[in-house]
Structure 1
Amino acid sequence: MTALYDRNSQARPNASPIPSGVPQKLSVVSPGVTSSEPVLAWLEQVLQERFGLPLLLERDGPERLYLRHAEAPGHILFDRLQPGFYLAGVDLPHCQWEATEEGFDAPLDLPLPAPGAASLPRPLVEPAAGGLTIHYDILGLTYWMLSRVEEVDAQVLDRHCRFPASASHAGRHGYLERPVVDEWLAVLGQVIRRQWPQAQLRQHEFTLRPSHDVDRPSRYGFARDVKLARVMLGDALLHRRPQALLVGPWVRLCTRRRLHPLDPLNTFDWLMDVSERHGLTSAFYFICGRTDPRKDADYEPEHPAMRHLMRRIHERGHEVGLHPSYHTFRNPKELANEAERLRRVCAEEGIEQAQWGGRMHYLRWQMPLTLQGYEQAGLDYDTTLSYAEAPGFRCGTCFDYPAFDPVKGEPLALRIRPLIAMEASVISPLYLGLGTGEEAFKRFSMLKARCRAVGGTFTLLWHNSELTTSAQRELYERVLSD
Structure 2
Amino acid sequence: MLLVYTHKISPRLNYVFKHICTRVLGIEVAFTTKIEKFIAHDNIKMSYTKQQLGSEFFIKSNDLLFEQGLNDIDINIMEWGQTKGFFFNGDKSAMPFDIFAASFYLLSRYEEYLPQVKDEFGRFVATESLAYKHKFLKQPVVDIWAYKFKAALQKQFPDFQFPEKSYRIKPIIDVPSAYHYRLNGVMRTVGGVLKDVFTLRFKGLYNRFMVLMRFKHDPFDTFKYFINKQKQTKFKFVFFFLLGEYSTYDKGTNPNSKGFISLIKHIGDYSDVGLKVSFFALDDAAILKKEKTKMEEIINKPLKASRQSFSKLNLPETYRNLIELNVQEDYTMGYVNEIGFRAGSCTPFLFYDLDYEVQTPLKIYPYHVMDFALLKHKSLLDKRRVLNNIINEVKQVNGEFTPVFHNYTLSDNMRWTGFKELFNLILESVTDEN
Please say whether Structure 1 and Structure 2 have the same fold, judged by a TM-score greater than 0.5. yes
Aligned pairs (5 A) from 1:31-430? 36=10, 38-46=11-19, 47-57=21-31, 72=43, 74-75=45-46, 76-81=57-62, 83=64, 87=70, 90=73, 92-98=75-81, 111-117=82-88, 121=90, 133-223=94-184, 224-230=188-194, 233=197, 237=201, 240=203, 243-250=206-213, 262-290=217-245, 293-315=247-269, 317-347=270-300, 352=301, 356-427=304-375
Helix, strand or coil at the partner of 2:288:
helix
Q: Give the superposition deviation at 1:231.
A: 6.3
CA distance in 1, matches of 2:158, 2:210: 67
Q: Give the superposition deviation at 1:397.
A: 0.6
On the 8 A contact 1:162/1:364 being kept in 2, the answer is yes
Which amino acid is the alignment partner of residue 411 of structure 2?
Answer: T
Q: Give the superposition deviation at 1:206.
A: 0.4
On the 8 A contact 2:25/2:146 being kept in 1, the answer is no
Residue of structure 1 in register with 2:54 after alignment: none
On the 8 A contact 2:166/2:399 being kept in 1, the answer is yes
Helix, strand or coil at the partner of 1:284:
strand
Helix, strand or coil at the partner of 1:365:
coil
Helix, strand or coil at the partner of 2:324:
helix
Distance 1:407 1:343, change over 3 A: same
CA distance in 2, matches of 1:79, 1:420: 31
Question: Once superposed, what is the RMSD of the aligned Cα atoms?
Answer: 2.9
Residue of structure 2 in register with 1:471 after alignment: 418
Residue of structure 2 in register with 1:106 after alignment: none
On the 8 A contact 2:13/2:66 being kept in 1, the answer is no
Helix, strand or coil at the partner of 2:351:
strand
Which amino acid is the alignment partner of residue 400 of structure 1?
Answer: P
On the 8 A contact 2:8/2:66 being kept in 1, the answer is no
CA distance in 1, matches of 2:31, 2:222: 49
TM-score (normalised: structure 1): 0.76
Distance 1:159 1:53, change over 3 A: same
Structure 1: gaps of 5 or more residues: 6-35, 61-65, 99-110, 127-131, 252-259, 428-432
Structure 2: gaps of 5 or more residues: 47-56, 430-434
> Does residue 442 of the first structure (1) align with residue 385 of the second (2)?
yes
Q: Give the superposition deviation at 1:283.
A: 1.0
Distance 1:303 1:241, change over 3 A: closer
CA distance in 1, matches of 2:282, 2:379: 31
On the 8 A contact 1:286/1:301 being kept in 2, the answer is no
CA distance in 2, matches of 1:68, 1:293: 63
Deviations 1:428-451 (A, max 9, x none): xxxxx1146111111111111111
CA distance in 2, matches of 1:300, 1:249: 16
On the 8 A contact 1:50/1:202 being kept in 2, the answer is no
Residue of structure 1 in register with 2:53 after alignment: none
Distance 1:195 1:55, change over 3 A: farther
Distance 1:445 1:194, change over 3 A: same
Q: Give the superposition deviation at 1:230.
A: 4.8
Helix, strand or coil at the partner of 1:398:
coil
Q: Give the superposition deviation at 1:116.
A: 3.8
Which amino acid is the alignment partner of residue 250 of structure 2?
Answer: D
CA distance in 2, matches of 1:261, 1:141: 54
Helix, strand or coil at the partner of 2:266:
helix
Corresponding pairs, count: 403
Q: Give the superposition deviation at 1:381.
A: 0.6
Distance 1:165 1:243, change over 3 A: same
Which amino acid is the alignment partner of residue 53 of structure 1?
Answer: I
Q: Give the superposition deviation at 1:406.
A: 1.4
Residue of structure 2 in register with 1:21 after alignment: none
Bigger CA drift: 192-201 or 151-160? 192-201
Helix, strand or coil at the partner of 2:16:
helix
Q: Give the superposition deviation at 1:89.
A: 5.6
CA distance in 2, matches of 1:116, 1:199: 28
Which amino acid is the alignment partner of residue 117 of structure 2?
Answer: V
On the 8 A contact 1:436/1:472 being kept in 2, the answer is no
Distance 1:368 1:71, change over 3 A: farther
Distance 1:215 1:68, change over 3 A: farther
> Does residue 457 of the first structure (1) align with residue 400 of the second (2)?
yes
Distance 1:41 1:2, change over 3 A: closer
> Does residue 4 of the first structure (1) align with residue 3 of the second (2)?
no
Helix, strand or coil at the partner of 1:134:
coil
Distance 1:333 1:148, change over 3 A: farther
